[in-house]
Structure formats: structure tokens, C-alpha cells
Chain A
């Protein structure tokens, strides 16, 4: 029912603003425009005629209150004509509240230099806090190195199952496919030179030294690292970590060390599985595409690929595992009391741990080459 209306009634000595029906959020803007467009002279008295107003909400009352203030500062005479109890009560409420309400300050905008400075400082602080975390971790490791009794074998076994054994399937599949792809791509080139047999050298070196450790690390970072972050983050939100602390259960001992140790122990095994699967993948392509039989492949393999290449790949495992687990757990501990920060920190954890793994791999690569391994 649209019975609300607003109009000016101009008489000789007074200008009357007549509101009728309802004055609410829905029709306020329309009226506001008309009123703001109007000219109020000091000579004429203003009458806010609310006598036929039946309902007013807080927005309407605020509008009228502001209008009164405006008239007051302009020193225009005005009066309110209203007998409806509810309307008066609402006006009074708004008037009373407006005395104690202070405007909400707009957030101060900062310029680029300020933002840049703040961000750099924050990054610096987060770097420091990561170092602090590493320090604490190291102290705890030392502590438990000397007391075998307090190692949490049960938790460790659980983590080994969760984050390593259950990951064998996906690692095997990914590695097999990578082996197939690498062999297939290079077979096209090798065929042109009739150098078919060198597929073995190529595959053996690249897979054992670089590809398998990296693929394994990336899969584990995406699969188990993110799970660590999310789990510890959720425990932080539900105050489970604090509960543990007050009960004297060191979270480092119960949550952090078992996870890190489990990954460090199983990473070499996972890399081994990945090695085997990738070579099998390459072998299949070599057989079908290049006509190299399995016998020939293995014969050549044992002749040209030294054991040290395999060992180099395996050796990287624990280092990658440590980086992935440490970053994932650190990110989990950074989660604040809101659900959004779980998502944020999980993303960060995966990105940072893959980045750290690649940097670590580069360092190893340079070091091993210079050492002639």
C-alpha cells in the first residue's frame, strides 16, 4: 500500500513540510532530495508537519534530526507538529542517542611508501619469527636426542602411515607418467641421430639425480605439508594447542617432532619408489618406441649409471622433508583466530615449501657438481 507522500505547503508566513504515511529507509532518499533542493529563508517559519505520519524508522528519524540541526545552525525558526506517540518516541530516542554517538572515523589511507615500509618490516619480523621457530625446534631436537624414552613412537608411526605410506600410490603414478613423458620427448630427438641407446644414460641421470627427489618433494608438499598446516591451524583455533600447553604436553614433542621425523625417515623411501617407477615408465617407452628391450636397457643401465647418482638423489630426501615439514608446521602455528587464515597459511605453506625445496635443490646441485660427485 503506497499511501506515503511528501510535499511542501507554502503559506504566507510559513513553509510547511508535510510528511504523510510512512517515513522509512525505502522512501527516504526521494524526500531527502526534495528537501535538500529547497531553500529555507530566515524570514519564513518552517513547520515539520508530522501530524499525518504514522510510522517512522530510525533512518527517517535520523534524517529529521539532521534537518533540525541544519535549521538550527542556519538560525531558521522551526517547529514540529506531531501528536503520534510512537513517532515522537522514535525522534526522542534518536535525538538522545545522537548526543553520545561519535562518527566512525574513516580508515586512514596510507601512501605507497608507508605501505612498502610496513610490508618490509612485517616480512622482516616474519623472517625473525621463522628463525625463532627453527631455534626452538633445534633445542627440542637436542633435548630428545639424549632421551630416547620421550620419543613419541606411536605418533610417529601414525604420521608415517598418514603422510608417507598413503602417498605411495600418487607418487608412483606421477613418477611413472613423468618417466614416460621424458622418455617419449627425448626419443624423438635421439632417433634422428640413431642414438637410441643413450635414452638410458639420459633417463638414468636426470631421474635419479634430480627429477625423482623433486617430484616426490612437490607431491608431498602439496599433499602432506598442506595437511600439517591445516591440522595444526585448526587445533590452534579450537584452543587445543593451548589446552595441551597448560596440561604440560609440549606441542613440539607431541605434534611437531613426530611429523618432522616421520617425513625425514620416509622421504628417502618415497624417492626410491619414485626412482623405480620413473625408470619403468622410461623403459616402457624405450621398448615400444625405440626398440630397446628390457634386457638391453638394464644392461646399459648398470654399465653407465654409477651408484652415486642414485645416492645423491636419496641424500636430498631428508633435507627436503625437513624443509617441507618445518615450513608447514610453522605456517600452522601462525594461524590466527579466524578461519580465513587457515586457507591463507595453507596456501603459503605449499608455495613456500616448494620454493624452499627448489632453492635447496639448486644449492645441492652446485655443491655436488663442484665436489665432482
Chain B
């Protein structure tokens, strides 16, 4: 299968603190791919490197066929239109209503009519399970779960091929978390997305992920599907995964 993201030998250092030593992994097209590992192992940093928010200091990262090192301005812009990112706290623009948040990329990047944009926004609001009546609320007026859904709708506004989720279920109650998992699966099937997510939520990991990479001790200790996760000897994997039966 075609790989949509290829990470090879990536090295990251903050001052003299080494975060990644030699990270290599690849994300197949159409899969839900998880970045797992103990706190502070650099999962979010790696995710940020993939979306060009964080520089890395060695190796290569290739996203949708373009290498991120020394990428040209135009390539970078076109990449940014082909992915969506869901931040941990949603990161909705606080000065805009939910509707305007979702409409923003459409307004900026397309010459669609106002009516068409409204229609698309209504569709996205519906597909993530928000109510149309909430559309004119501001981010400060809605709950955490709604924020995540609204942020997901915004990430989906441009119909991206690739979706990055940073701890999508953190801070949600268990029922909302399961709903969110179901939503992610549904979206993948409906829209044919490739999804990369950082997660700590064991249920959501087992329910949604096709493949996973476990980061520990500055490198990838396991990559593949979850069935063979115990094939490697690692403390984190043992304590993290042994708690729950599939």
C-alpha cells in the first residue's frame, strides 16, 4: 500500500535535551495510525514536525510525497490545504463564531458564493454531530466536547486527505469519547481519510487504530498493528496494554 507519510531517521533536540534519536515510521494511505508512548516521549513534538510547526534536526519527513526539509513556500501552502489538524484544546479562533471558524478556510481559499459556503458549513456541522442551532455560538460559550467537534469540523472544512488529531478524546467523558471514536471511524469510511493521532485513551486506541507506533526512550520501539504489540519487550507496552483485554 502507498505510504502517505514517511519519516526517516528523524532527530530532534531542544538545546542539549535529545527528544528523538532516530525515528522512522510510515503511515499507509487510508489507515488510522496512532502515535503512542509514555508522557514526554515526544509524540506531540513528532506530530508538530509533521505539520511543519516544529523544526527537526536530522533525517527526513515526507508528507503526501513532499519532503518537509527546505520545502518551498508554494509547496508548503498547498500541503497546508490538504491536511486538517485538530489541536488538543481545539484552538478555535476565539473571536469568531463556530460557523465562521468553519467557514474561514473556505472564505479565504475559494471563491465559493456565500450561500454555498453556508451549505458546506451546515453539512460539516451535521457530519460531526453538532446541532445547527449551535452554529452562532462562540468558542467560549460551548462545552469541551462541542469544541472538539467544532474544531474537527473546521479541520474537515477543506475536505483534507490527511487528518492529524492531537489527543482527540482527552478531557472528554467516556461516553463522548466513544462517540468521538465512532465519529472518527465513520469519517474515515465516508471520506477516505488517512488519520494520524496521538492518544492515551486505551479504549479509543483499540477501537480505532489500524496501526500504531510506540515511541519510548527517544526511538520507535514498535511499529505495526496492535495484534502483535506484545512481540517486543518494553516496559511501557507491558504496563500500558496489559490492563485491558481486547
A, B from the same assembly: yes
Flag whether B89 is at the interface (Cβ < 8 A): yes
Give complex CA distance A243, B87 in Å: 7
Tally of contacts, chain A with chain B, CB under 8 A: 46
Within 8 A of B (CB), among A194-226: none
For the complex, is B1 an interface residue (Cβ under 8 Å from A)?
Answer: no
Q: Is the CB of A242 within 8 A of B81?
A: no
CB interface residues, B 70-97, toward A, < 8 Å: 76-77, 80-81, 83, 85, 87-89, 91-94
Minimum CB–CB distance for A258 against chain B, Å: 13
Q: List the B side residues contacting A244 at CB < 8 Å.
A: 93
A249 and B94 contact, Cβ closer than 8 Å, known pairs A239-B87, A239-B89, A243-B85: no
A239-B87, A242-B87, A243-B87 given as contacts; is B94 within 8 A of A248 (CB)? Answer: no
B53 / chain A contacts, CB cutoff of 8 Å = 242, 245-246
Chain A, Cβ-Cβ closest to B158: A247
Q: Interface code B194-237, partner A: CB below 8 Å = 1, 0 otherwise? A: 00000000000000000000000000000000000000000000
Partner of A246, one of B51, B94, B109: B51
Does A239 contact B91, Cβ atoms closer than 8 Å? yes
A10 at the A/B interface (Cβ < 8 Å)?
Answer: no
On chain B, the residues within 8 Å of A242 by CB distance are 48, 53, 87, 91
Task: Digitize B125-147: 1 where CB-to-A-CB distance is under 8 Å, 0 elsewhere.
Answer: 00000000000000000000000
Q: In this assembly, does B28 line the interface, its C-beta being within 8 Å of a C-beta of chain A? A: no
Q: In whole angstroms, what is the CA distance A50 to B41 when docked?
A: 45
B-side interface mostly: mixed
A240 interface contact, C-beta 8 A? yes
Q: A166 vs B109: C-alpha distance in the bound complex, in angstroms?
A: 32
B59 at the interface (CB under 8 A from A): no
For B83, the chain A residues whose CB sits under 8 A away are 246
> Does any Cβ of B come within 8 Å of A27's Cβ?
no
| Interchain CB contact under 8 A, B93 and A243 | yes
Nearest residue in B to A239 (C-beta to C-beta)?
Answer: B91
Q: Which residue of B lies closest to A244 (CB)?
A: B93
What are the residues of chain A within 8 A of B105 when measuring CB–CB?
Answer: 247-249
Residues on A facing B (Cβ under 8 Å): 234-235, 238-240, 242-249
- Which residues of B line the A interface, CB within 8 A? 48, 51-53, 76-77, 80-81, 83, 85, 87-89, 91-94, 104-105, 108-109, 164
